[in-house]
Each structure stands twice: as structure tokens, then as C-alpha cells.
């Protein structure tokens, strides 16, 4: 009886692993994903929001220096 | 709920960008203190107007020099007051991204983050000024092409080559537009025998200062104190004199640009000839500087649309996309 249970459990684990690998397909490396996110966040489209939000330069600003 | 902030903590000006709102503060990095009690009397523009015009018990100072904190305690108080002005309190502790010169030391880096945390920030991250400037100047740094940015600030001048979201080559000198003012002060003292203040020197720079000969040049009258008699005196300065006076600083900035160009990989170097270099920062507004760099490097130089705000806009973009761009922060790479 115990042998049957052990074989059954082993079979279930093997089937679960096979299904998991079959469904997963080619997985992307975490480095690729984060690099893609990083580059996408620097795209002109992503930056447009900030550019549009910032007010035009103040012509009355008499302190021209910047640091 | 605290709104996260991006701060361009410059030697000359401090700009603050609030997430979702835009630039909410743009003030000179100056604080006025009562010398006897240590009380803060004014910050920002109000304190800037006091420079060189205070009675003995008041001192108006710039707590940052060369992009570095020279007085930790005063800087912390200045940051705290500036953050209070944009709504930060002990109950609203925002995440903060601060732009700093790339040549900052480990000790200086810790001083800036500690000052921001003590001033009320929940978390303080640092980003290099040229990187923030490139983002804010809207350069296509997400592409595998050479983007070159020259940031001439009050206390530092930095040149960086950026490609694919990272710095490829970098060159920084602790020289900026305040050094130009100091050279003008020293020249007037040496050649005309009169003492002028730093604000007057800055006015001379803005009025007739140039790095190369330009059209419509005019002379400027300067009033100061005669070193021999101690009486007020007026002298007339010419643009040629000012060009001569500031040449050492201008040459030093251009030499750092040339060194950065020399460091760039050949594949990216050819891009500069087509795309040019971008000039940002208040020091970049010096007349003839772009033309002089262009002449000495044979590479086209273009002025950013918003040279004074480019750095804080870049940092503002980082605070808007904090999770995606946190790899760019200085602590993340070291």
C-alpha cells in the first residue's frame, strides 16, 4: 500500500514538473527584463510627460548661474 | 501622503521637482544666518539679495562649493527649510532623488544623503548631474548612439558620453561660473585697483562676459571701492579685458571636454560629428562658450532648450519612473 502511495506521489510530481516546463516556454532572463524596462523608461515617449509638465523658463530670473 | 521629490542641489541654485506636479521651487542656494544666535534669517532669493550687504551680525553664505557641502549643518538646515516650503513635514516623508557632481567623494556623498534624510526625506538616492542633464535635455540616450552633454554649473563642469542609458566616458573639473566671477573680481582688483563684490562680478559677467568675440559687444561701468583711497570709484571694463581675465577658467573647461572626447570609443565618437554636443547649465549661457568649444574641438555644439532646468527635469523623470530607473542611482552601481 505504501509503495503504491509513494509511486503515485512521484508520478504526480513528475507530471506537474513536465506540465510546468511545457507551459513556461522560453523564459526571459531577469537581466533582459530589467534592462528592457530601464531603456523603455528612458524613451522619448516616457519622458514626454515630464517635459510637458515643466513650466517654460522664467524670463524674469536674474540669477543666471546654475550649479 | 508625501509626494516624492527630485532635487538639483546646485552650488548656485537649488531646484525641486515634485512628482506629478513639475518644478515647485527654484531658488539660489544661499542661507542667511544670525552670527550670534545661529538663527536662520532667510533662505533662497531673499538671502541671495543679502550677499555682501549685511551688517556684522548677519552672514549670508552659500553652503555648497564646487558642488560639495562645505558646511554640513548649514546645508542640512537649508535643505530642511526648502523642503518645508514645498510641503514636506515630519508626517510626510518623501523619497528624494538628488543630483550631485559625478566627481563627488564617498564622504561627500554620505554628507548629502544624510543631510536630506535628516531634513525629512524617507529615502535619499543620488544621480550624477550629467546623466540627469542628458535625460532632461531630451537626448536619445535610450539608443545605442553617442550622446555628449556638457554641464557647466556654478562650481563644477562635467562632460559625459552617454549611450544605452549609461555613462560611457566622463570628465569633471571643479571649475564653474563662480570661478569666472572670482577671476573677474581678481582682475579688477589687480588691474584697476578697486575691490568689487561677487554679485557685481556676476553682473559684469552677465553684461559683457564672453568666451569668444561676439557681435554687438559693449563696455560696462563698474563701481567698487578704491583700494588706495578707500573711496567709491567707477571704472570702465571692456569685453576684451573680461575675456582675458576669465581665459584660464574657460580653457580649463574646454580642456576637460577635449579629454572626454578622447576617452570616447571610436564608434560613438563619430556620432558626435553628426549629432553634436549639448551644452546645459547656467555657465553654458556665457556668451561665445559654445562657439569657442566648437572651434577648439571641431564638433558642433548645441544649446539645450532649458539649460537651467535640464538637470532637475532629468532627476524628476527618475522620480516619476523610480522602480525602472533605480539602477541608475549612484548607490546601485557601487
For the segment B270-275, the average pLDDT, to the nearest whole number, is: 92
Same domain, B60 and B156: no
Long-range contacts of A27-33 (CB under 8 A, 24+ apart): none
The pLDDT, as a whole number, for residue A22 is 66
Axis crossing angle, helix B177-192 with helix B239-263, rounded to the nearest 10:
150
Q: Do A54 and B22 touch (CB under 8 A)?
A: yes
CA distance A27 to chain B (A): 20
Q: B-chain residues within 8 Å CB-CB of A51?
A: 138, 313
pLDDT category, B333, cuts 50, 70, 90?
low
Strands B5-9 and B95-100: parallel
Q: Is the CB of residue B168 less than 8 Å from the CB of residue B162?
A: yes
Which carries the bigger pLDDT value, residue B206 or residue A25? B206
Q: Is the CB of residue B135 less than 8 Å from the CB of residue B313?
A: yes
Q: Which of B23, B135, B165 comes nearest A55 by C-beta?
A: B23
Given a cut of 80, whether residue A9 has pLDDT beyond it is yes
Same domain, B203 and B289: no
Given a cut of 50, whether residue B45 has pLDDT beyond it is yes
The pLDDT, as a whole number, for residue A62 is 44
Same domain, B93 and B27: yes
Distance between CA atoms of B34 and B60, rounded to whole angstroms? Answer: 9
Query: Percent of chain B at pLDDT above 90?
Result: 68
Same domain, B204 and B299: no
pLDDT category, B1, cuts 50, 70, 90?
low
Q: Do B324 and A37 touch (CB under 8 A)?
A: yes
Give the residue on B whose Cα is nearest the Cα of A36.
B324
Please indicate if any CB of chain B lies within 8 Å of the CB of A66: yes
Please, what is the average pLDDT of chain B? 91
The pLDDT, as a whole number, for residue A26 is 59
Q: Do A67 and B176 touch (CB under 8 A)?
A: yes
Quick: pLDDT tens for B288-330. 999 999 999 999 999 998 999 999 999 999 999 999 998 888 8
Quick: pLDDT tens for B131-181. 999 999 999 999 999 999 999 999 999 999 999 999 999 999 999 999 999
Query: Percent of chain A at pLDDT above 70?
Result: 67
Q: B-chain residues within 8 Å CB-CB of A64?
A: 202, 206, 282, 285, 308
Same domain, B296 and B320: no
Q: Is the CB of residue B233 less than 8 Å from the CB of residue B194?
A: yes
Give the residue on B whose Cα is nearest the Cα of A43.
B142
For residue B138, the Cα-to-chain-centroid distance in whole angstroms is 19
Please indicate if any CB of chain B lies within 8 Å of the CB of A52: no
Rounded-to-10 torsion of CA B61, B128, B149, B318: -110
Given a cut of 50, whether residue A59 has pLDDT beyond it is no
> What CATH number corresponds to the domain at position B205?
3.90.640.10
Same domain, B159 and B61: no
pLDDT category, A11, cuts 50, 70, 90?
confident
The pLDDT, as a whole number, for residue B163 is 94
All three cell numbers of B19: 512628482
Q: Is B69 helix (H, G, I), strand (E, B) or coil?
A: strand
All three cell numbers of B279: 551644452
Split into its structural domains, chain B has a count of 3
Same domain, B123 and B213: no
The pLDDT, as a whole number, for residue A55 is 56
Given a cut of 90, whether residue A10 has pLDDT beyond it is no
All three cell numbers of B189: 582688483
Given a cut of 80, whether residue B334 has pLDDT beyond it is no
The pLDDT, as a whole number, for residue A5 is 85
Q: Which of B282, B324, B327 comes nearest A65 by C-beta?
A: B282
Residue B121 CB coordination number (10 Å): 25
Give the residue on B whose Cα is nearest the Cα of A37.
B324
The pLDDT, as a whole number, for residue B103 is 79
pTM of structure: 0.85
The pLDDT, as a whole number, for residue A27 is 64
The pLDDT, as a whole number, for residue B311 is 95
Q: Count Cβ–Cβ pairs < 8 Å, chain A vs chain B.
A: 103
Quick: pLDDT tens for A37-58. 989 999 988 888 888 877 564 5
End-to-end Cα, chain A, rounded Å: 79
CA distance A3 to chain B (A): 51
Q: Which of B154, B164, B321 comes nearest A65 by C-beta?
A: B154
Distance between CA atoms of B186 and B90, rounded to whole angstroms? Answer: 45
Please indicate if any CB of chain B lies within 8 Å of the CB of A42: yes
Q: Do A34 and B309 touch (CB under 8 A)?
A: no
Length of chain A: 67
Q: Which of B176, B202, B317 comes nearest A50 by C-beta?
A: B317
The pLDDT, as a whole number, for residue B72 is 79
Length of chain B: 334
Strands B64-65 and B58-61: unpaired
All three cell numbers of B37: 544666535
For the segment A12-18, the average pLDDT, to the nearest whole number, is: 85
Distance between CA atoms of A54 and B94, rounded to whole angstroms? Answer: 20
Q: Which of B153, B202, B309 comes nearest A67 by C-beta?
A: B153
The pLDDT, as a whole number, for residue B41 is 92
User: Which residues, at least 6 apart from B246, have a Cβ–Cβ distance to it below 8 Å?
Assistant: B180, B183, B184, B205, B209, B211
Phi, psi of B322 (to 5 degrees): -55, -50
CA distance A60 to chain B (A): 12
Q: From B228, B245, B262, give the residue that closes a domain.
A: B245
Same domain, B152 and B231: no
Same domain, B156 and B298: yes
For the segment B262-287, the average pLDDT, to the nearest whole number, is: 93
DSSP state of A57: P
Q: Which of A41, A53, A66 comes nearest B154 by C-beta?
A: A66
All three cell numbers of B117: 534624510
Distance between CA atoms of B163 and B174, rounded to whole angstroms? Answer: 24
Q: Is the CB of residue B64 less than 8 Å from the CB of residue B75?
A: yes
Q: From B203, B218, B245, give the residue that closes a domain.
A: B245
> What CATH number corresponds to the domain at position B57?
3.30.420.40
Same domain, B255 and B223: no
Give the residue on B whose Cα is nearest the Cα of A65.
B282
Give the residue on B whose Cα is nearest the Cα of A35.
B324
Distance between CA atoms of A54 and B22, rounded to whole angstroms? Answer: 5
Given a cut of 80, whether residue B253 has pLDDT beyond it is yes
The pLDDT, as a whole number, for residue A64 is 43
The pLDDT, as a whole number, for residue B73 is 82
Q: Which domain holds residue B49?
A: 5-131+310-333
Which range is least confidently modeled, B72-86, B123-137, B288-302?
B72-86
Same domain, B289 and B258: yes
Q: Do A63 and B309 touch (CB under 8 A)?
A: no
Same domain, B126 and B78: yes
The pLDDT, as a whole number, for residue A33 is 87
Amino acid at each position: 500500500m505504501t509503495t503504491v502511495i509513494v509511486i503515485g506521489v512521484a508520478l504526480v510530481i513528475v507530471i506537474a514538473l513536465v506540465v510546468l516546463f511545457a507551459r513556461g516556454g522560453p523564459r526571459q532572463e531577469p537581466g533582459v527584463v530589467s534592462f528592457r524596462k530601464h531603456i523603455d523608461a528612458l524613451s522619448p515617449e516616457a519622458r514626454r510627460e515630464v517635459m510637458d509638465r515643466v513650466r517654460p523658463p522664467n524670463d524674469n530670473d536674474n540669477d543666471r548661474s546654475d550649479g | 501622503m508625501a509626494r516624492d521629490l527630485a532635487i538639483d542641489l546646485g552650488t548656485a541654485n537649488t531646484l525641486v521637482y515634485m512628482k506629478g506636479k513639475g518644478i515647485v521651487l527654484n531658488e539660489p542656494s544661499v542661507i542667511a544666518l544670525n552670527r550670534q544666535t545661529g538663527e536662520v534669517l532667510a533662505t533662497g532669493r531673499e538671502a541671495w539679495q543679502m550677499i555682501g550687504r549685511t551688517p556684522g551680525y548677519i552672514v549670508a553664505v552659500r553652503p555648497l562649493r564646487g558642488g560639495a557641502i562645505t558646511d554640513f549643518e548649514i546645508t542640512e538646515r537649508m535643505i530642511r527649510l526648502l523642503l518645508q516650503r514645498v510641503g514636506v513635514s515630519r508626517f510626510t516623508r518623501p523619497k528624494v532623488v538628488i543630483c550631485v557632481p559625478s566627481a563627488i567623494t564617498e564622504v561627500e556623498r554620505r554628507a548629502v544623503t544624510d543631510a536630506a534624510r535628516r531634513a525629512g526625506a524617507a529615502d535619499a538616492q543620488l544621480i550624477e548631474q550629467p546623466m540627469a542633464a542628458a535625460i532632461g535635455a531630451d537626448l536619445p540616450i535610450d539608443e545605442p548612439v553617442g550622446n555628449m552633454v556638457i554641464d557647466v554649473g556654478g562650481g563644477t563642469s562635467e562632460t559625459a558620453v552617454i549611450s544605452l542609458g549609461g555613462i560611457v566616458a566622463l570628465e569633471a573639473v571643479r571649475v564653474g561660473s563662480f570661478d569666472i566671477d572670482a577671476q573677474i573680481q581678481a582682475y579688477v582688483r589687480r588691474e584697476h585697483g578697486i575691490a568689487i563684490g561677487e554679485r557685481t562680478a556676476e553682473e559684469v559677467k552677465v553684461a559683457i562676459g564672453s568666451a569668444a568675440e561676439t557681435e554687438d559687444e559693449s563696455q560696462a561701468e563698474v563701481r567698487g571701492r578704491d583700494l588706495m583711497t578707500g573711496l567709491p570709484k567707477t571704472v570702465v571694463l571692456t569685453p576684451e579685458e573680461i575675456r582675458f581675465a576669465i581665459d584660464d577658467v574657460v580653457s580649463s573647461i574646454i580642456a576637460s571636454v577635449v579629454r572626454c572626447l578622447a576617452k570616447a570609443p571610436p564608434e560613438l565618437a563619430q556620432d558626435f560629428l553628426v549629432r553634436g554636443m549639448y551644452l546645459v547649465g547656467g555657465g553654458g549661457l556665457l556668451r561665445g562658450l559654445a562657439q569657442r568649444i566648437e572651434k577648439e574641438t571641431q564638433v558642433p555644439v548645441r544649446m539645450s532648450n532649458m539649460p537651467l532646468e535640464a538637470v532637475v527635469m532629468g532627476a524628476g523623470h527618475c522620480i516619476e519612473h523610480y522602480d525602472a530607473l533605480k539602477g541608475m542611482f549612484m548607490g546601485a552601481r557601487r
